[in-house]
Amino acid sequence: MALTTQQLITWKQQSRPIIALTAWDYAFAQILDMAGVDIILVGDSLAMVALGYQTTLPVTLDEMLHHAAAVRRGVERALVVCDLPFLSYQESTSQAIRAAGRALKETGVQGVKLEGGHPAAVETVARLSDIGIPVMGHVGLTPQSVNRLGYRQQGTTEAEAERILLEAIALSEAGAFAIVLEHIPAKLARIITTKLDIPTIGIGAGSDCDGQVLVTADLLGLSEKQPPFAKSYVNLKEIITKAINNFSQEVREREFP
């Protein structure tokens, strides 16, 4: 049975931490799902970790849907959420409905995520939620705004912290089912988490969020560069390289097959 957004809210009420990770293909999605991850996010970070771009900006909606469909085929239990990529939803609410609608209809994901908590983003979340498309918000560091904000921690001044708090409240009131809090002070994340009835999913936002998300490539030691708040639990790049070197050596020495 696939998880529902309502289940996430129940877990928040029960203080049961929510586990979220990103995926970009069928094989990883299957592993994450079988390991019991609750939310599998087809994040637009796949632009960097799967497609070799420098930022998330170049990835297109068609590319995201291609990866989302592969991920969805590998998942039975987790809630699968697909990022709406840069410029696939900011132009107008109709553009956002078309993009989010394609994600649900063409890939089978159960929700979409979009960045920002400014009034236009809030209006989009309200419209999508009204027509039955579950939306996850994302405030704090929003990588699609890298050219304006860089990758620095957000919410470090009182004014910025107040703005982010108000954005999170507005997104929640608009109907978002959860909100990613990225790279903000732990104290601010704690305040937002306490104020909202919907779950907060932190990344670089301290341990008091209702759940945590990491880019799976960072967790596995596969990324070229990773943010200061990420943690690698294994160096898969080293392990894979060793396996390939062993294979190459056995082929050169005609030991394999």
* Enzyme catalytic residues: 182
CA distances from 24 to 43, 65, 238 (A): 8, 10, 21
CB of 166 to ligand KIV, least distance (A): 21
CB of 254 to ligand KIV, least distance (A): 44
Side chain identity at 17, as an amino acid letter?
P
Count of CB atoms situated within 10 Å of the CB of 175: 18
Q: Which residue is nearest to ligand KIV (CB)?
A: 43
Query: Closest CB to ligand KIV among 141 and 174?
Result: 141
**Nearest CA to 71 among 44, 33, 99?**
33
C-alpha R_g of the chain: 19
- Write out the residues near ligand KIV by the rule CB under 6 A: 22, 41, 43-45, 83, 180, 203, 213, 215
Query: Closest CB to ligand KIV among 69 and 230?
Result: 230
Q: Are 109 and 67 in contact (CB under 8 A)?
A: no
CB of 41 to ligand KIV, least distance (A): 6
Cis peptide before 257 (omega within 30 of 0): yes
Query: Closest CB to ligand KIV among 171 and 247?
Result: 171
